[in-house]
Amino acid sequence: MDEQWEALWNKLVLTEEEKEDIEATATVNGDGTKVGRFCLIGKLLTDKPFNIEAMKSTLRMVWRLVKGVAITEVGRNLFVFQFNHPLDRRRVLDNGPWTFDKSLVLLKDFQRDVQLLDIKMEDALFWVQVYNLSFGCMNKEVNALIGNKVGKFIDMEQDDNGAC
């Protein structure tokens, strides 16, 4: 059977017109400004099989969204999260990291001009708490040194007086 398919495939010939490139631009796509609005792209970091509907249901429940979200699978463990309100989207991004079934859910801003195969889901933000620092080391500079040792330091919590 495979040999038959291969023989048919080898006979396939495109016309010159079919070989021409097609350029899809915003004018071809219509108003592209709404595509991806309030969206995040997400990836579940697992090689184990999982129940997609259970994942969707669980994330909706733990996120406690005011206006809801549509979740569409667009690749292996890759999803588009279309939020119905920008504050729901912001809250999900700000309150992570999130997990499902002991696997990390990576989230990043949706980029409508990036092809699916070019999406790189390689990093996540984590809040790290450091114990047993002397008072003299409880400052942004020392925390940046520690943070940059385990990843990339972003920021730290401080009270109104600048104390950690």
Tell me what pLDDT residue 162 has: 58
In angstroms and rounded to an integer, the radius of gyration of the C-alpha atoms of the chain is 23
Tell me what pLDDT residue 28 has: 47
Rounded alpha-carbon distances, angstroms, from residue 26 to 21, 22, 34, 107, 160: 16, 13, 11, 26, 47
Token duo for residue 92: 């999900």
User: 45 with 104: CB under 8 angstroms?
Assistant: yes
Residues 6+ apart with CB under 8 A from 1: none
Domain residue ranges in the chain: 35-112, 127-164
Chain segment 47-104, per-residue pLDDT in tens: 999 999 999 999 999 999 999 999 999 888 999 999 999 999 999 998 888 999 999 9
- Residue 136: pLDDT band by 50, 70, 90 thresholds? confident
Model confidence at 126: pLDDT above 60: yes
Segment 136-146 mean pLDDT: 85
Chain segment 4-30, per-residue pLDDT in tens: 888 877 877 878 887 777 776 655 455
Q: Note the CATH number of domain 35-112.
A: 3.30.70.330
